[in-house]
Amino acid sequence: MITRLAIANRGEIARRIIRTATSMGIETVAMYSDTDAGSPHVRDSDLAVRLTGRGASETYLNVDAVVDAALRSQADALHPGYGFLSENAELARAAIAAGLTWVGPTPKVIAAMGDKLAAKSAMAAAGVPTLPTWTADDPAVEFPVLVKAAAGGGGKGMRVVKTRSELPGALEAAAREAVSAFGDPTVFLERLVTRARHVEVQVLADSHGNFVHLFERECSLQRRHQKIVEECPSSALDDELRRTMGDAALRGARAVGYLGAGTVEFVLEDDGRFWFLEVNTRIQVEHPVTEAVTGVDLVREQLLVAAGEPLSIRQEDLSIRGHAIEARLYAEDPANDFLPCTGALAEFSVPSRPALRWESGVEQGSTVGIDFDPMLAKVISHAPTRTEAARSLALGLARARLRGVATNRDFLVAALRSTAFLRGDTTTDFVDTAGVPRLRDATEEEVAVAAAAAALAARHARRSTAGVLRNVPGGWRNSVMPPERASYRYRGTDLEVYYNFGRDGSATFVVDDLTLALSDIDVSTSSPGLEVRVSVGRTGERRLHVLEAATKVWVQGAEGDVELDVVERFAVAGSQNPDGALASPMPGRVVRVSVAAGDVVDTGTELVVIEAMKMEHKLTAATPGRVGEVLVSAGDQVAAGQLLVVVEDAHRADPAESEGGR
Amino acid sequence: MPGLPLQSSVDTLGEDFAGRRDAMLEKLFELGRLAESAAAGGGAKATERLRSRGKMPIRERISYLIDRDSPFLEISPLAGYMTDYAVGGGMVLGIGVVEGTECVIIGNDPTDLGGAMTAVSIRKLMRALEIARLNRLPYIQLVESAGGDLRGLSDGDDPEAVMRRNLTHFAESGRMFHDITELSALGVPTVSIVFGSSTAGGAYQPGLSDYNIFVEGHAKVFLGGPPLVRMATGEISADEELGGAAMHASLSGLADYLAVDEMDAIRAARAVISHLHWRKAGPGPLIDDPDPPLFDPDELLGLMPADLRQPVEVRDVIARVVDGSRFEEFKASYGSTLVTGWAEIGGFAVGILANNGVLFSESAQKAAQFIQLANQCSTPLVFLQHITGYMVGRDYERGGIVKHGSQMINALSNSTVPHITVILGASYGAGNYGMGGRAFDTRFVFLWPTAKIAIMGPKQMAGVMSIVRREQAARRNFELDEDSERARSEAVEAFAEAQSLGLYATGRVADDGIIDPRDTRTVLTIALSACHSAEVKGAPGYGVFRL
């Protein structure tokens, strides 16, 4: 029996595990690094233990620290969550050796499945279809090919290589990433399957010999080899294929002596052939879609199995009810290749309707840093049909107020509403081929109304805190004076807002070329931020939520959120980046500086490699030229927007040369 | 909370009301037109030329200087009307909020005669300094002036006639230099932002200010320009080295802040005001969110008759100006041609004296007593004028109208609480004085478009002069030609009428401007708030005399 469960994880999954454990009457122990001291998962638990050290490697990835924390808190069981050490056999071994109940399969199974090459042969032996594998020097390699880390997962250390000449560089980078992420540089090559779907099967096994599968999850929507939308059932499976794949998964699970919750991942080709990819020996991020359609609490089953009890369900009890879709909200910039973004969440509020399952490890005021995965939340809809599930998920996402850090929200909404998605046309190349806009383009009118609402909110805030003449109408004039002016910037374009108020409280706003007649203006507080109700011309009442924080203002109307930069009236003297300057697109660490001052570079020449979020990002020259200044060196920690290298125009007269020519 | 809400019996659906309202709107339209022309300054071309040199028109400078979304009360916006100068007088003066601090702001309009100082703009400048002094308001001047208006004669002028008519003299000028230093000594900070030329006498404007901000490349401050220097000493010099901003910031020390451009200068001025951490000396409003009047201020448009001899129920005005229309009337049944009582305007406590007919002895005595009471409780006074004068006639002279009128003027003159006057309609004779006229250190005097100000009504004036002429004729046994006498009378009346118009007064800076009646409460609130920047304290002395 488990009485006190320690959770070697953070964020939404820690909260998720705490919730089920608590409802089972089990006390919980949270672990936290210093940066997580104020995090929601720490508050949710009964006890919390600090993991000293910096970054993930010294804390959540430190086997000794995690086991020690569990023991110090007198926990009798350890749940690893997902990510971090969840598939680390060392931890499982250490936990068991320390007398803790380990929530997961045996260390041996974890180790076997963790070696992707070994796992493949084990599955092949059990009769599960597998893809051909090559070593790096195998002349039979077919290009394009996929480079994978043997210890991999989550897309880390994974590379698509199109030609043999790119192979050495890709291998080197993948190995480096693999070491950084998993501590093991082994990589291998696998046939690249294109236009395929990612379909995985959830399995559960107990120590009494019971094995069940809880159907599939389709996780084809991916970017940077990481899933962003998952669903059950898959639109590509009929009952027969579902049974076939379920049976294959169970066959594999039985063959390796699986225990607990696990996922057998397959790639499904459009002709119905499917191939084994890997077994995830942990609870998956996307497990809630299975829970939604089957009604089974997977964490509860994990805890039951760990405690030596039988599963609470039998295969014949299970069926799929309705359709569930999960979307992962990330702090990232879809327009900039989905690179992670950091920042403080000025607002994180989710709508009560449509009723969705929101799982998040952040809250308003949380800081999204570079230490951990930038997933803000996952959101799960469950509806009678796939279309309803997709649309309600999109609506709920659109209504959420996520301010302070760039997110993939608008992209997710557009993807869920896209014809391709609604048609079930989901393959792993969806993000690149479906033509879903990376960013939402607000109409000129929407931006104008947003700017006007921002100005109205700012005016309200100023007037209601004015030290003198607070009750005199704002901006009142008894002579002809220039209109009031507010300046914003929308995606780099300046927006000048000029406005006048009439005696009756109506107002005329001119935003660039658009004139808006505003009436019935009402601004009220809606903590955080302000709610602006206003009639615009004859188009009826709009309700807009406005939040201003630091130099940004967000205006959310029915169409979505518009983010504006506040342009200060009085400029602070600042330096402009010179032409040809390369700034870091994201916060991270400089892995390598590939050029030196004076080097001549061509378009595409690698300048600097930045590592962030355990991924390497190659920054290349945008134009040909000569490297003027190199401002960083390997090992430096850099902030987003920090200047790295300046490439000067090669044609610019070189004083030394002209002197020489005299 | 003073008093109960007033009732109002105005028939807003009647023909009288509609007619009066239309007439008022017509006057407002004309005023609006004049305001547009004042705002246009020296015209579109001059403004374009200004902008092309990286400069902003004066109204834009001011609108960036004041806090965003804050109100701005322009003072004497139509100064110069019916003079030889442009409407507006080449200067913009007002009360604005800078970094949460109400300030007097005055600036040259460089598009109008290059911002030269004229008879009109000097009156505005002197008024600006007076407002700052009386109300203890920090003073900001936006300087860009070609200097004194040296044009003496216009084409066709008879020099002797011009000299005869002109009773002012150079030796009297320069008081502004005295007043600006006096302000500083009184603890009222003075700030100059120099946007352009400020030379010769004008150099003393920044010279005498507490804080100077010069715009680099634009500010030019010297006693004598290159031509004068060459004439005086033979030295050949250029503008920048004689008086450029950079020189003054680094060598002479005349500039305290060197601004890179106009916006930077405005930013610097705001920073200066911010660091003052200005504390107003008055108690301020009683509450921040006062009730609006119960009656629509829009109805103020339909109250004033075309013929100012017709009575107006002044409580109908009060009911549309004071908070919640609440008014605690004092001595309602005594001297009823003057309404006195307590109210709040924009949250500020006030005593109100409002004409409801001719001033009799009782009404004058009531006024004197009420003014003393206001001083006792240090409450500002608001005068609402619609007065044809003190009552004349045998019985009234015997009853001591001169004595009682004098009591009222004495109480007024020696009252030390702020006085603010709004002239709604007639403002004739000593009535203008006794009811907080301009000459009595009244903090602010505003006019409704219907205001007429004169020694007496134009008809009375024409009639009186006609009677005098007839008496002279009779003494000299001289037969008057009735036709020419009538024509003469009409001419006198027409001239008196024209001179009595509010616009004529406002053109001469004899008031602080004509306001839209609907803005009365707002204007009074801003004015009262400005008054509260200084201490609000009644006169010490005897106890209140029951008069």
The pLDDT value given to residue A602: 81
Q: Which residues of B touch A475 (CB under 8 A)?
A: 69-71
Section A159-186 average pLDDT: 86
Tell me whether residues A469 and B526 touch, CB distance under 8 A. Answer: yes
| A462–B69 CB contact, under 8 Å | yes
How far apart CA A285 and CA A300 sit, in angstroms, is 15
Q: Give me the pLDDT at residue A113, please.
A: 94
CB contact under 8 A, B288 and A471: yes
Would you call B522 and A476 a contact, using CB atoms and an 8 Å cutoff?
yes
For chain B, state the CA radius of gyration. Answer: 25
pLDDT tens-place string over residues A597-620: 888 888 778 889 888 766 788 888
The top-scoring range by mean pLDDT among A93-97, A337-341, A585-589, B431-435 is A93-97
Question: Among partner residues B68, B288, B515, which is closest to A478 by beta-carbon distance?
Answer: B515
Would you state the pLDDT for residue A614? 66
Contacts of B102 in chain A (CB under 8 A): 468-469
Mutate to test the interface with A, among B33, B69, B70, B193 (most CBs of A within 10 A): B69
Helix axes B361-376, B401-413, angle to 10 degrees: 20
Count of C-beta atoms within a 10 Å radius of residue B323: 28
B485: Cβ contacts below 8 Å, ≥ 6 apart: B466, B469, B470
Give A649's pLDDT tier (boundaries 50, 70, 90).
low
Could B263 and A471 be called an inter-chain contact, meaning their C-beta atoms sit closer than 8 Å? no
User: Of all residues in chain B, what percent are helix, strand and coil, respectively (each to 5)?
Assistant: 45, 20, 40
Taking residues A566-590, report their average pLDDT. 72
Q: What is the pLDDT along chain B (547 residues), one digit of tens a residue?
A: 678 999 988 899 999 999 999 999 999 999 999 999 999 999 999 999 999 999 999 999 999 999 999 999 999 999 999 998 999 999 999 999 999 999 999 999 999 988 888 889 999 999 999 999 999 999 999 999 988 777 767 778 888 888 888 887 878 778 999 999 999 999 999 999 999 999 887 888 999 999 999 999 999 999 888 888 888 888 888 888 899 999 999 999 999 999 999 999 999 999 999 999 999 999 999 998 999 999 999 999 999 998 888 889 999 999 999 999 999 999 999 999 999 999 999 999 999 999 999 999 999 999 999 999 999 999 999 999 999 889 989 999 999 999 999 999 999 999 999 999 999 999 998 889 999 999 999 999 999 999 999 988 888 888 888 899 889 888 998 888 889 889 999 999 999 888 999 999 999 999 999 999 999 999 999 999 999 999 999 998 778 888 8
Q: Is B362 on the interface with A (CB under 8 A)?
A: no
Residue A504: other Cβ atoms inside 10 A:
8
| Residue of A472, A481, A503 with shortest CB distance to B518 | A503
Q: Give the residue carrying structure tokens 């603890």.
A: B187
CB atoms within 10 A of CB A22: 15
Beta-carbon separation of A471 and B346 below 8 A: yes
Query: Out of A472, A475, A570, whose CB is closest to B263?
Result: A570
Maximal C-alpha separation, chain A: 92
Cβ atoms of A70 and A95 within 8 Å: the answer is yes
| Contact residues of A toward B, CB < 8 A | 458-459, 462-463, 466-482, 484-486, 503, 569-571
**Minimum mean pLDDT among A218-227, A486-495, B454-463: which range?**
B454-463
CB A31 within 8 A of CB A13: no
Question: Which among B63, B144, B142, B132 is positioned nearest to B104, based on CA atoms?
Answer: B132
What whole-number distance in Å separates Cα of residue B529 and Cα of residue B535?
Answer: 11
What's the pLDDT score for residue A135? 82
CB–CB contact A472 B35 (8 Å): no
Residues in chain A within 8 Å Cβ distance of B263: 569-571
Residue A660 has pLDDT above 60, yes or no: no
Q: Residue B508, Cα to own-chain centre: how many angstroms?
A: 10
Q: Residues near A583 by Cβ (< 8 Å), separated by ≥ 6?
A: A577, A641, A642, A643, A644
- Chain A residues within 8 A of B39 when measuring between CB atoms: 479-481
What pLDDT, on a 0 to 100 scale, did the predictor assign at position A154? 63
Whether the pLDDT of residue A286 is over 60: the answer is: yes
Q: What is the pLDDT of residue A366?
A: 93
Nearest CA to CA, how far is B75 from chain A (Å)? Answer: 9
Chain A residues whose beta carbon lies within 8 Å of the beta carbon of residue B518: 503
Tell whether B516 is within 8 A of chain A (Cβ): yes
Chain A contact present for B447, CB below 8 A: no
pLDDT value at A182 more than 90: no
What three-state secondary structure class fits B35?
A: helix
Q: Nearest by CB to B100, which of A463, A468, A476?
A: A468
Q: Does B102 touch chain A (CB under 8 A)?
A: yes
d(CA B294, nearest CA chain A) in Å: 16
Q: How many residue pairs from chains A and B have C-beta atoms closer than 8 A?
A: 100
Cβ-based contacts of A463 with chain B (< 8 Å) = 69
Chain A residue numbers with beta carbons less than 8 Å from the beta carbon of B523 are 478
| Interchain CB distance below 8 Å, A478 and B289 | no
Q: With beta carbons under 8 A apart, name residues in chain A contacting B77.
A: 478-479
Across the interface, whether the CB atoms of B266 and A570 are under 8 A apart is answered: yes
CA distances from A312 to A210, A213, B160 (A): 10, 13, 117
The whole-number average pLDDT for the span A557-571 is 92
Tell me how far apart the alpha carbons of residues A57 and A80 are, in angstroms, rounded to a whole number.
15
Chain A residues touching residue B72 (CB < 8 angstroms): 476-478, 481
**Predicted pLDDT of residue A572:** 62
* CB contacts, 8 Å: A468 with chain B: 97, 100-102, 280, 529
Out of A153-162, A312-321, A411-420, pick the least confident.
A153-162
**Contact state of B97 with A486 under an 8 Å Cβ cutoff:** no
Look at residue A585 in the predicted model and tell me its pLDDT: 79
Strands B444-447 vs B419-428: parallel, antiparallel or unpaired: parallel
pLDDT over threshold 60, residue A576:
no
A478 and B270 within 8 Å at the Cβ level: the answer is: no
| Chain A residues close to B280, C-beta within 8 Å | 468
Mutate to test the interface with A, among B70, B137, B257 (most CBs of A within 10 A): B70
Distance (Å) of CA B5 to CA A647, B292, B299, B525 = 76, 12, 17, 19
Cβ atoms of A298 and A203 closer than 8 Å:
no
Is there a contact between B523 and A478 if contact means CB atoms under 8 Å apart? Answer: yes
Distance from CA of A568 to the nearest CA of B (A): 11
Residue A575 has pLDDT above 80, yes or no: no
Decide if B71 and A472 are in contact by the 8 Å CB cutoff. Answer: yes
**Cβ of residue B391 closer than 8 Å to a chain A Cβ:** no
Most confident range (mean pLDDT) of A269-278, A361-370, B479-488, B520-529 is B520-529
Q: Do the Cβ atoms of A479 and B77 come within 8 Å? A: yes
